[in-house]
């Protein structure tokens, strides 16, 4: 196969590309330039897709003896990921930019261009498995649960899965990948993993949002609507947050209070007891299927609402364009804007962006 290897400059994508070469594929490496700030560099483990990462990726390609290119996707990244991130916070939701990047950049823009140029598949260093089933290609969890990344790939469609290649899916541990990189003479073998939001490399999301969204003082209220404090910008708060609340009125029972809801229209933050974070139902209209589409009606599944959360058994129902999920046991602290990924055992069924939630604890209870 002709393989387009997406090379981030990290060890995972480097070893994935190396394995694709070793398997006999015709491999071309490409690094995605997602920012036009030419001097951008990593800050330790923070950030990714920087100038430093591009140079690291080029050095790996030289060792592997494959062609290497840098493609400028900065404009599309700004529109589809950064602007979407800002818009979601303005709407009082908590988005996952990595999901949007996988959906709109790495497996949409990159794959589209790759197919136009005659490539058969895009190769990445994600830890997930592809299985050819009777109804087409399926996306499954990686062999090693601790490194499984099927959640962030839950946005992939059947067509995208048909042109994907994940060589690390059966690798038992990250240390084995690093050891393999050392054996292959790849300088990124001990490079730290990136974390935090790539376009906010200093990690100050609150300050970054204040600059983009603007900050205005507002009320912090309890579930009954009584004012219990003030805030300096609703965008800085997310459901489940405990720290940073400026509450002038203590709770009647003296227990800590948590953010339950962010209301951007009224610039209000709603707080309440930890018990009120229990969520009995989530729903959304923005969904995709990782393979065969589900028919209207109900089906059993397991649902994961964060990249490293445990899956929860649930009953899902698709009706009138809305996907609703009711877990066997309440979720803890779900925020609109998060992504829920549905599983059947190890297989990813699909995903949806959470638009609404229903608390398991009624107001006044």
CB 158 within 8 A of CB 200: no
Query: Which sign does the torsion angle of CA 182, 131, 21, 99 carry?
Result: negative
11-22 vs 174-183: helix crossing angle, rounded to 10: 60
What does the alpha-carbon distance between residue 291 and residue 156 come to, in Å, rounded to a whole number?
9
Going by C-alpha positions, the residue among 279, 284, 286, 289 that lies closest to residue 343 is 289
Q: Which helix (H) or strand (E) holds 84?
A: helix 83-90
| Set 48, 49, 198, 301: catalytic member | 198
What does the alpha-carbon distance between residue 319 and residue 237 come to, in Å, rounded to a whole number?
32
Going by C-alpha positions, the residue among 239, 244, 218, 181 that lies closest to residue 15 is 181
Tokens linked to 210: 């204040």
User: Is 123 tagged catalytic?
Assistant: no
**For residue 39, which phi and psi values (nearest 5 degrees)?**
-90, 5
CB 244 within 8 A of CB 260: no
Residue corresponding to tokens 């594929």? 25
User: Is 301 tagged catalytic?
Assistant: no
Rg (C-alpha) for the chain, rounded Å, is: 22
Q: CA angle, 155 as apex, 153 and 159 as ends, to 5°?
A: 95
A 10 A CB-CB count for 257 gives: 23
Residues 6+ apart with CB under 8 A from 25: 1, 2, 3
| Set 48, 49, 98, 101: catalytic member | 101
Active-site residues: which are they? Answer: 101, 198
């Amino acid at each position: 196969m002709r393989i387009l290897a997406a090379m981030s400059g990290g060890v995972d994508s480097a070893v994935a590309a190396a394995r694709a070469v070793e398997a006999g594929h015709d491999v071309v490496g490409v690094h995605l330039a997602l920012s036009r700030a030419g001097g951008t560099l990593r800050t330790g483990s923070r950030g990714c897709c920087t100038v430093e990462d591009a140079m690291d990726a080029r050095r790996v390609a030289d060792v592997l003896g494959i062609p290497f290119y840098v493609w400028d996707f900065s404009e599309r990244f700004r529109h589809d990921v950064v602007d979407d991130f800002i818009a979601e916070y303005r709407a009082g939701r908590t988005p996952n930019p990595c999901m949007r990047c996988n959906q709109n950049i790495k497996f949409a823009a990159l794959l589209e261009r790759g197919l136009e140029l005659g490539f058969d598949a895009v190769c990445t260093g994600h830890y997930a498995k592809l299985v050819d089933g009777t109804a087409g290609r399926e996306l499954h969890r990686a062999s090693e649960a601790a490194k499984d990344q099927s959640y962030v790939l839950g946005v992939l469609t059947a067509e995208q899965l048909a042109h994907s290649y994940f060589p690390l899916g059966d690798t038992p541990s990250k240390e084995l990948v690093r050891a393999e990189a050392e054996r292959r003479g790849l300088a990124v073998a001990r490079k730290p993993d990136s974390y935090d939001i790539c376009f906010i490399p200093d990690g100050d999301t609150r300050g970054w949002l204040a600059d983009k969204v603007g900050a205005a003082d507002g009320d912090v209220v309890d579930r009954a609507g009584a004012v219990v404090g003030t805030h300096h910008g609703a965008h800085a708060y997310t459901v489940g947050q405990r720290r940073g609340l400026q509450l002038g009125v203590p709770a009647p029972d003296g227990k800590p209070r948590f953010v339950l809801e962010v209301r951007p229209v009224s610039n209000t933050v709603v707080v309440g007891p930890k018990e009120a974070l229990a969520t009995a139902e989530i729903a959304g209209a923005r969904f995709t299927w990782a393979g065969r589409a589900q028919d209207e009606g109900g089906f059993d599944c397991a649902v994961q609402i964060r990249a490293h959360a445990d899956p929860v058994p649930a009953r899902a129902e698709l009706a009138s364009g809305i996907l609703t999920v009711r877990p066997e046991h309440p979720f803890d602290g779900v925020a609109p804007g998060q992504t829920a990924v549905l599983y059947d055992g190890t297989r990813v069924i699909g995903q949806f962006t959470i638009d609404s939630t229903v608390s398991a604890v009624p107001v006044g209870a």
